[in-house]
Amino acid sequence: MAKSKIAYFCQSCGFESAKWLGKCPSCQAWNTFVEEIIDKGNNAAVPTWKVTSNTQQRANKPVQVADITFSEEHRMLTPDKEFNRVLGGGIVAGSLVLIGGEPGIGKSTLMLQLALNMPNLKVLYVSGEESERQIKMRAERLTTLPPPPEGGVSESIIELLAPPSGGGGGSYVLCETSTQNIFKQIEALEPDLVVIDSIQTLHSSHIESTPGSVSQVRECTAEMLRFAKETSTPVFLIGHITKDGMIAGPKILEHMVDTVLQFEGDRHHVYRILRTVKNRFGSASELGIYEMLGEGLREVSNPSEILLSQRDEPLSGITISATLEGLRPMLIETQALVSTSAYGTPQRTATGFDTKRMSMLLAVLEKRCGFRLAAKDVFLNITGGIRVEDPAIDLGLAAAIISSHEDMPVPFKTCFAGEIGLSGEIRAVNRVEQRIAEAQKLGFNQIFISKYNLPSGGQDKKRMDLSRYDIDIKIVSSIEEVFGLLFG
């Protein structure tokens, strides 16, 4: 009989200890250690799937970088342009992608919709949370499916979408939680893409602890990682999150995968945001926006139009700021409300913006511009349910605060792009030309930018030509100059 070992794992960071500890020495968290039984007798060095003859094996000896042959990078493009942008241009062969998000936000819908919309590829959707009938009901809601074939379907794998013209693709569903059984079906089916829903429901026979524990999540992820790298098959893992918004399981889970995607959004709104947290094959600051409909998720190609409210007349406390999310410029609506405080301590609340940076902006407005805001309640809101960390929206937020404080609306069709320093100066922002072009495309009349964004040398003048824009570009250097142009 195999000898078992009892160990204690931290549920926050995955730190292993031979005895129970009240405080984790790695992440300094209290009361996070749980007892788990580890089976040391079945830990085999060989993988749990069949290594076919066409499997590319890595060399076991060191190789110089100059001697490594590298052809042009090939990515699998999906019909979803937003998904391609977030991944950095498509799906990389052999990549391991982790997708996390709130319960009911649409992670399973996004992955099932991806599987159904790629008929030229053989996609295996492995579910440990839903039955075959439940997935079939959701698939029929997402798309119009053909009738099921009369024969030729495995008892364990149900085919959802037949390939067009009898091709080699199609979507298959497997309801299984054992990694050993999953790899047996993968060996028989040989899919081009694998989706796991979810990694917390899988369990390996090498570990005796319950599914979802730290050791099980780590071992199952390691098996999927070895499978993806040795067979060059992309694997998508759907992960649960904790009450703090972090992905459930050890922190090493995010280090093992190639890409980490966060699916965000308010369930009371129809818009969802797919944000890149980590990406080894592209930018880690990309963002994709979807609209949740009854037929599934619809990609939003122009997010500026949905983030801006349709107003017939200007209102006080509302401004438009130009921001960047990865390579995409967006115009967002920033709202501010300033009112007299009814209590001794004024309230300072920000939705979608850093509260500490809001306090800094209020201090600059009071110190450099003379506005009495110490006894005022200030509320900030970024519309659309998104969170922005770009400092280029400082100027728009400051203008919204003063507009609400003086009850004077900002001129209609006015946009802002500038960072505010502690001395009240307007600092330059990166890629200002893309922000100006986005404001001009949406029909804005004027945009405020920093004078430090202007070209200083002859070479810069060739690269940045502001005369080709039809929009009125206001060049400012201080926050006092901005308020003088806006409110006289």
Residue type, 342: A
Percent of the chain scored above 70 by pLDDT?
Answer: 84
Residue 155 pLDDT = 45
The residues, ordered by sequence, that sit 6+ positions from 393 with a Cβ below 8 Å of its Cβ are 321, 322, 323, 332, 334, 353, 416
Is-cis flag, bond preceding 198, omega within 30?
A: yes
The residues, ordered by sequence, that sit 6+ positions from 200 with a Cβ below 8 Å of its Cβ are 211, 212, 217, 239, 240, 248, 249
Closest CA to 171 of 228, 227, 112: 112
Residue 283 — pLDDT band, cuts 50, 70, 90?
confident
Mean pLDDT computed over every residue of the chain:
83
Residue with the larger pLDDT of the pair 469 and 385? 469
The answer to whether 104 and 231 are in contact (CB under 8 A) is: no
* Helix 179-189 / helix 214-231 crossing angle, nearest 10 deg: 20
> What's the predicted TM-score (pTM) here?
0.74
Mean pLDDT across 458-462: 49
Q: What is the pLDDT of residues 61-120, one digit of tens each?
A: 787 888 877 766 778 899 998 899 899 889 999 999 999 988 888 899 999 999 988 888
Residue 206 pLDDT = 81
d(CA 236, CA 193): 8
Residue 167 has pLDDT above 60, yes or no: no
Mean pLDDT across 287-306: 83
Residue 149 has pLDDT above 70, yes or no: no
Mean pLDDT across 434-453: 90
d(CA 261, CA 292): 18
For the ranges 311-315, 326-330, 463-467, the maximum mean pLDDT occurs at 326-330
CA distances from 37 to 6, 210, 344 (A): 5, 9, 56
- N- to C-terminal Cα separation, the chain: 86
Residue with the larger pLDDT of the pair 200 and 169? 200
- Mean pLDDT is lowest, of 154-168, 223-237, 344-358, 386-400, for 154-168
Give the count of beta carbons closer than 10 Å to the beta carbon of residue 295.
11
Beta strands in 75-234 (DSSP E): 75-76, 91-92, 96-101, 122-127, 157-161, 170-175, 193-197
SS (H, E, C) 125-149: EEECCCCHHHHHHHHHHHCCCCCCC
Residue with the larger pLDDT of the pair 459 and 258? 258
- Mean pLDDT is lowest, of 56-60, 203-207, 253-257, for 56-60
Residue 6 — pLDDT band, cuts 50, 70, 90?
confident
Residue 397 — pLDDT band, cuts 50, 70, 90?
very high
Mean pLDDT across 228-242: 90
d(CA 331, CA 320): 7
Residue 460 — pLDDT band, cuts 50, 70, 90?
low
Q: In degrees rounded to 5, what are phi and psi of residue 97?
A: -115, 130
Give the count of beta carbons closer than 10 Å to the beta carbon of residue 282.
20
Residue 40 has pLDDT above 80, yes or no: no
The residues, ordered by sequence, that sit 6+ positions from 251 with a Cβ below 8 Å of its Cβ are 12, 13, 14, 27
Question: What 3-state DSSP class applies to 462?
Answer: helix
CA distances from 121 to 69, 141, 481 (A): 27, 21, 58
Residue 464 pLDDT = 66
Residue 143 pLDDT = 67
Q: In degrees rounded to 5, what are phi and psi of residue 348?
A: -130, 105
Percent of the chain scored above 90 by pLDDT?
Answer: 36
